Amino acid sequence: MIFRPELNVTKCGKSLFHWLRDHRRKKILQEPFPADFREILKKRYRHYSFLDDAEKRHLEQLVQVFMAEKEFEGCKGLEITHEIRVLISAEACMLLLCLHHDLYRGLDSILVYPSVVVTPPSTRGVFLQSPLIERQRTPISGQAFMRGPVILVWDVVKRDARHPERKHNVVYHEFAHLLDMEDGTADGTPVLHGREQYRQWAKVFTEEFVALRRRSEQGRKTFLDSYGALNEAEFFAVATEFFFDEPVQMQTKHKALYDVLSGFYKQDTAARERRYREGRQHRVK
Ligand SMILES: [Zn+2]
């Protein structure tokens, strides 16, 4: 079933009509969002505070459905708590906040490790289904597989959610990979909204990717993390992290890149962050 929120129009112009047509999801949404879950979001997830009331309610609805549909599996003795499920779900759903989306269809489970994990050495079979899989034993904080699962490291997730100023967010990064791979390839281009957007995307992303790669090779300072210079897929994942974590700076320094990402995600993260900061200043005064 396609997940298309299309009624209850919010500022993002979406509604919940098609979503509510699905009986199972409708039942899930009849339950109120638990107050203790909201507390977790308020205390542990900085970007939740940036949202206006309508966006918060919509994110909570996405979280409810996501949590009901996805399996969370604790690895290496990690016990899955409400905090783990709520926080990861919220960050994954933040990317979809204004998109017509079926909530990462094909992803069934999320494997959560307590701390950094080392990938197994390259083996044939499931690990070679995705070009994103590392070929050697490498310490990682997250990994995305085509059609799932997603691997995440809890202490990194927790830190990233509270500290966007670090400009790293492993959940945004790995779920951006899932969006990218929806069309069957990890090439840094998710399914876009029309021919003009593809044209603009190819132009801007090519210029920005080549520039990042050149500066990285020359050892020069870069705005985006140089990890994005690895390939087009990593470029999109890293750019997504910065689009949510450092949007005001991105809009200033890489406006064209910000604009195409804003067009894709249908979110103006820079305006949202400015609103939040101004609101805080007024409250402090
Ligand atoms: Zn990656």
Between the CA of 232 and the centroid of ligand 1 the distance, in Å, is: 10
pLDDT (tens place) for every residue of the chain, 285 residues total: 223 233 333 444 445 556 555 788 889 999 999 999 999 999 999 999 999 999 999 999 999 999 999 999 999 999 999 999 999 999 999 999 999 888 998 899 999 999 988 876 554 433 344 444 444 567 889 999 988 899 999 999 999 999 999 999 999 999 999 999 999 999 999 999 899 999 999 999 999 999 999 999 999 999 999 999 999 999 999 999 999 999 999 999 999 999 999 999 999 999 999 999 998 776 655
Considering the domain architecture, whether residues 193 and 139 belong to the same structural domain is answered as no
Considering the domain architecture, whether residues 204 and 112 belong to the same structural domain is answered as no
Considering the domain architecture, whether residues 121 and 255 belong to the same structural domain is answered as no
User: Does some domain include residue 221?
Assistant: yes
User: Does some domain include residue 180?
Assistant: no
Between the CA of 156 and the centroid of ligand 1 the distance, in Å, is: 14
Neighbours of ion ligand 1 (CB under 5 A): 234, 237
User: Does some domain include residue 175?
Assistant: no
Longest dimension (CA), the chain: 60
Considering the domain architecture, whether residues 23 and 124 belong to the same structural domain is answered as yes
Considering the domain architecture, whether residues 4 and 108 belong to the same structural domain is answered as yes
Between the CA of 43 and the centroid of ligand 1 the distance, in Å, is: 27
Query: If phi over 0 gives left and psi between -120 and 50 gives alpha, with beta otherwise, what is residue 167?
Result: left
CATH number, domain containing residue 263: 3.40.390.10
Final residue before a domain boundary, out of 133, 165, 197: 165
Between the CA of 240 and the centroid of ligand 1 the distance, in Å, is: 11
Between the CA of 179 and the centroid of ligand 1 the distance, in Å, is: 12
Considering the domain architecture, whether residues 44 and 86 belong to the same structural domain is answered as yes
Between the CA of 115 and the centroid of ligand 1 the distance, in Å, is: 17
User: Does some domain include residue 174?
Assistant: no
Between the CA of 228 and the centroid of ligand 1 the distance, in Å, is: 8
Considering the domain architecture, whether residues 144 and 194 belong to the same structural domain is answered as no
Between the CA of 5 and the centroid of ligand 1 the distance, in Å, is: 28
User: Does some domain include residue 10?
Assistant: yes
Question: What is the reported pLDDT for 15?
Answer: 58
Between the CA of 190 and the centroid of ligand 1 the distance, in Å, is: 14
Question: Of the candidates 46, 233, 227, 34, which has an alpha carbon nearest to the alpha carbon of residue 133?
Answer: 233
* CA dist., res. 229 & res. 216, Å (int): 7
Expressed as residue numbers, the domain containing 114 is 1-165
Considering the domain architecture, whether residues 196 and 266 belong to the same structural domain is answered as yes
Considering the domain architecture, whether residues 154 and 191 belong to the same structural domain is answered as no
| DSSP bridge partners of 73 | 111
Question: What is the reported pLDDT for 163?
Answer: 94
What is the DSSP code (8-state) at residue 182?
A: T
Q: Which residues are within 8 A (CB) of 88 and not within 5 positions of it... i.e. 6 or more apart?
A: 72, 110, 112, 152, 157, 171
User: Does some domain include residue 177?
Assistant: no
CATH number, domain containing residue 6: 1.10.472.150
**How many domains is the chain partitioned into structurally?**
2
Between the CA of 36 and the centroid of ligand 1 the distance, in Å, is: 32
Final residue before a domain boundary, out of 165, 196, 225: 165
* CA dist., res. 190 & res. 181, Å (int): 7
* The model's pTM: 0.87
Considering the domain architecture, whether residues 157 and 216 belong to the same structural domain is answered as no
Contacts 24+ apart (CB under 8 A), 176-179: 176/95, 176/236, 176/237, 176/240, 176/241, 177/132, 177/144, 177/233, 177/237, 178/104, 178/107, 178/144, 178/148, 178/150, 179/95
Phi, psi dihedral angles at 62 (to 5 degrees): -60, -40
